[in-house]
Chains A and B, each alone.
Chain A
Amino acid sequence: MAVPGTDHEQPAAEAQRLGERLREMTRTRTFLIATLIVILALMYLFGALSGAGSRLMSLTAWGLMLGGVIALGSIGLTLVYGVMKFPNFSHGALVTLGAYVTYTVLPLLPDGPTLSPLSFGYEFLVAMVVAMPVVGAVAIALDRAVYRRLRRTGSHLVLFAMASLAMAFFLRSLIYLIWGPDFHFYYPGQPNPAFRLPLNIRVQGDQVFILVMAFVFVAGVSALLEWTKMGKAMRATADNPDLAGVRGINTERVIAWTWGLGGALAACGGVMYGLSSQLRPEMGFWLLLPMFAATIMGGIGNPYGALIAALIIGISHQVSTSFLDPTYGPAVAFVLMVITLLIRPQGLLGRDGG
C-alpha cells in the first residue's frame, strides 16, 4: 500500500507532481548525454543493418575528422555568440572567405616540399596564417560598420540577427564576384594517399592533421579564456557588459578582439574544410547548420563544449551516410540540435539556468 492519505486525496496534484518530477529528470545533462548515446547507438545499428558493418569503423574515424572541421568553425561562432549574444549568420561566409583568401595567397608563395604524409607543404600553412588575420580584420570591419551602430542605439537582438543575415549575403555575393561560382582545389590533381590503420580503418594524413589542429585551437582558446586578462574580460563582457564597463573594461575593445579572433578561427575552419573537400562559395553555408548545432549542443560560449559536440555531430553525420544520402548531413546536425534544445537548451557544458 502507498503512504496513506496521498493516493486518494489529490490524485490530480499527485499526477502533476509526477509530471514535474519527470520534466525535472529530462532536463538534466545526464538525460541529454544518455539520449545522444542512444541516438548514436541507433545510428550504428541502422548502419550495420543496411550492410555497412565493415565500413562503420572507417566512417567513425572520418566522422572524427569531419568533427574537427566543424569544431574549428564553431569555436569562433561560439565565442562571438557568447560575448555578443546573437547568432551570427554571417559566420559561414567568414569560413568561406578564409578558404578563398588562402587560395589566393597560396600561388604567391614558393612551393615547398610536401610534408609527407600530409598533402601540402609549408607554404599552405603560411597562406593560412596570412588569411586568418585578414578574415579577422573583415569581421572587425563589419562590426564597426554595422553591429557597433546597433549596439549604440540599444537595438534588439532581432536586428542584430537580421543584420548578420544581410552581411552573410553581402559577403557571399562578394565571394561570388571575386572568385566566381566554380569549384577550386588547393592542390588540384595531387594524390592524397590514405594509410591503413588496424580494424581496416583508412585515414589520410590531412584528416589527422585537421583533428589535431581542432584540439590545439580549442585548448588554446580555452586557455586564453581561462588565464589571460583579455580572455577573462571577454567572459566578463559576455556575463554582464554594463558591469564590465563599470569595472574599467573597454568593452568595445574586447568586442573587437572577440570578432577578430572569431573571424580568424572561422578562416582556419574554412581552410581545413577546403583542404578536406573542395572550395565552393556555398561551403560556409553548408557548414552553418552543423556549426550552430555544435555551438548550441556544446553550450554557447564554451569552446570545449563546441569540440565535443562537433565530434558527436561529425560521427553522426558520417555514420548516417551508411543509410542516408550524404547530402542530408546538415539535417542530421539539425535533428541533434533540436533534441538538445528540447532537453537542455544550455547544452552539454552550459551552466544551469544560463
Chain B
Amino acid sequence: MSQVIFIKGLMLGIALAFILPILLPPGRPWRVPGGIVLGLATGLILAALIPGGYLSYVISFLIMASIYGLLSLGLNTQWGYTGHLNFGVAGFFAVGAFTSALMTIEAPTGVAAQYTQVLFGLEMPFLVGVATAAVVSGVVALIVAVPVLRLRMDFLAIATIGVAEIIRLIFQNERWLANGPQPLRGIPQPARCLFESEGCAWLPEGMAWIIEPLTTRDYSAFYLIVVAAFLALLYLIIERACRSPWGRMLRAVRDDEASAAMNGKHVTYARVQSFVVGAVVMGIAGALYAHYTVAIDYSHFHALFATFIVWIMLMLGGSGNHRGAILGAIIIWAVWSGTSFIASGLEPVLAAIHEELPGRAQYIRWLLVSLLLAGIVLFRPQGVLREEMRVSNYLRKDGGSRDG
C-alpha cells in the first residue's frame, strides 16, 4: 500500500468513523467503538481496493450526503419535533452558503472588481465563516418566525416557500451583494494549503512529509472529515437536546398544543426555538456546501434541489428520528445519484420515442423522485424508521417507570 493510498484511506476512515456510529442501531454499548473501528477499517479497505477515480466519487458522494444529512437533521428539529411545515429549506441553506462565502472570501480589487462584486469580503477563517452562517441563518429564521409561526400549518408552508423564493431572488438580482446572478467564485477552503505544493506556513517542519505526496486533487478526502465531524457533532448536540426536557416539551407542543399550553409550557417560545435551531443547522450545511463547491450562485438553491429532496429524505427516514433523518439523506442521495445512471441508461429508449427526448433524460430523475415521495406519503407516511418512543434518559427502554 503506497503512502498516498494509505493516507487517503485513513482520511476516509476517520470520516466514516464519525458517520457510522450515528447510523448503527442505537442502544447498543458497542455502537460508538464499533462504529469507529468499522469506519477506519472500511476506509482503508475501500482505498486499497478501488481505483482512485472511483474513490473520489465515493468521497464526493459522502460529502454531499453528509451536507444533506445536516439539512435533514435541521428540518427534523423543525418538523419532526415541533411540526413546523417548512417548505423553505432552500432559503436557509442559501443564507448560510452566501454568508460564509462573504465572510471568508477575498474582496476583489482592480480589474477583478469589475467582474465580481461583493458587499464585503472579510478573509476570515473558515470556522468564523461557518459560525457567522449559523448566526445569520438563525437570525433570518427568527425574523420569519415571529410573524409566521403563530399561523396555521398550511399558511406556514406557503409562507416559507415564499421566504425561500425571495431569498433566492435577492441573491439572483443584487449584484452588489454577492455578484448575482453570476456565480460567486473563489470561496476559500480550510487548510487547502496542506495539499498545495508550497504547504502551509503554520504546519510544523517535521510534519510536512506526511502530506507531502498528496495533491490538491486529494483535498476532498480531507474536507470529508470536516463535514463528517460537523455532522457527528451536530447530531450529538441535537440528539442530546431532544432527549432533554426541552425536547420533550417540543413533542408535547407538536402533539397537543392546547394541553402543552395548559401545562404551563411556553408554546410560542418553544415553537420559535425549534424553528431557529433547525435553521441554524441548515445555515451550517449551507456554509459547508459553499466551501466545498468553491463557486456558488442562486441556481444552486432552487426549491427542487434544496427543499423537495430534503423532505423526501426526512420522510423516508421517519420524522422525529435524527438517526433516520441522516440515514434517509444518505439513501435518497444514493437513489438520486443512481437515477442519473437510470436516466442515461434510458437514453436509447428515449431516442427511439422522440429525437429530442434523450436531451431531457435528466427530468426523468425528477419524475422518479417525485413518485418516490408520493409513494412514501401514501404507503409509509411514518417513514422507514419509526420515531423512537423513548425520549427521556430517565425512562427505561421497555417504557417502564421512572427510576430516579
Indicate yes or no for A touching B, C-beta below 8 A. yes
Q: State whether B304 touches A337 (Cβ < 8 A).
A: no
Would you list which residues of chain B between 162 and 178 have a CB under 8 Å from chain A? 162-163, 165-166, 169, 172-173
Q: State whether B373 touches A165 (Cβ < 8 A).
A: yes
How far does the Cβ of B384 sit from chain A's closest Cβ, in whole Å? 16
Residues in chain B near residue A345, CB distance under 8 A: 151-152, 155
Separation of A275 and B9 alpha carbons in the complex (Å): 59
Residues in chain B near residue A288, CB distance under 8 A: 161
Q: State whether B159 touches A162 (Cβ < 8 A).
A: no
- B203 at interface by CB-CB < 8 Å: no
- A140 at interface by CB-CB < 8 Å: no
- A138 at interface by CB-CB < 8 Å: no
Would you list which residues of chain A between 113 and 153 have a CB under 8 Å from chain B? 146, 149-150
Separation of A89 and B151 alpha carbons in the complex (Å): 18
Convert B302-346 into 0s and 1s, putting 1 for each residue whose CB lies closer than 8 angstroms to a CB of A: 011000100100010000000000000000000000000000000
Task: Among B152, B356, B374, B381, point to the contact of A166 (Cβ < 8 A).
Answer: B374
Stretch at the interface among B41-49, B231-239, B363-371: B363-371
Chain A interface size, under 10 / 10 to 19 / 20 to 34 / 35 or more: 35 or more
Residues in chain A near residue B360, CB distance under 8 A: 176-177, 180-181
Stretch at the interface among A30-38, A198-206, A244-252, A327-335: A327-335
Residues in chain A near residue B155, CB distance under 8 A: 296, 341, 345
- B147 at interface by CB-CB < 8 Å: yes
How far does the Cβ of A321 sit from chain B's closest Cβ, in whole Å? 12
Task: Among B151, B162, B163, B169, point to the contact of A328 (Cβ < 8 A).
Answer: B169
Q: State whether A159 touches B373 (Cβ < 8 A).
A: no
Listed residue (B152, B357, B367) with the most chain A CB atoms within 10 angstroms of its CB: B367
- A284 at interface by CB-CB < 8 Å: no
Q: State whether A289 touches B161 (Cβ < 8 A).
A: yes
**Interchain pairs with CB closer than 8 A, number:** 120
- A277 at interface by CB-CB < 8 Å: no
Q: State whether B161 touches A167 (Cβ < 8 A).
A: no
How far does the Cβ of B41 sit from chain A's closest Cβ, in whole Å? 39
Task: Among A149, A158, A172, A334, point to the contact of B165 (Cβ < 8 A).
Answer: A334
Further pairs besides A163-B373, A338-B162, A341-B148: 17, Cβ < 8 Å: A85-B154, A149-B378, A157-B153, A157-B154, A158-B83, A161-B154, A166-B370, A166-B371, A166-B373, A172-B366, A173-B364, A177-B367, A292-B162, A296-B158, A327-B173, A328-B173, A345-B152
In the assembled complex, 29 residue pairs joining A and B whose CB atoms fall closer than 8 Å, in A order, are: A85-B154, A89-B87, A146-B374, A159-B381, A161-B85, A161-B157, A162-B311, A162-B373, A166-B371, A166-B377, A169-B308, A169-B366, A169-B373, A170-B367, A170-B370, A173-B364, A173-B367, A176-B360, A180-B359, A289-B165, A296-B158, A325-B173, A328-B173, A334-B162, A334-B165, A337-B158, A337-B162, A341-B148, A345-B155
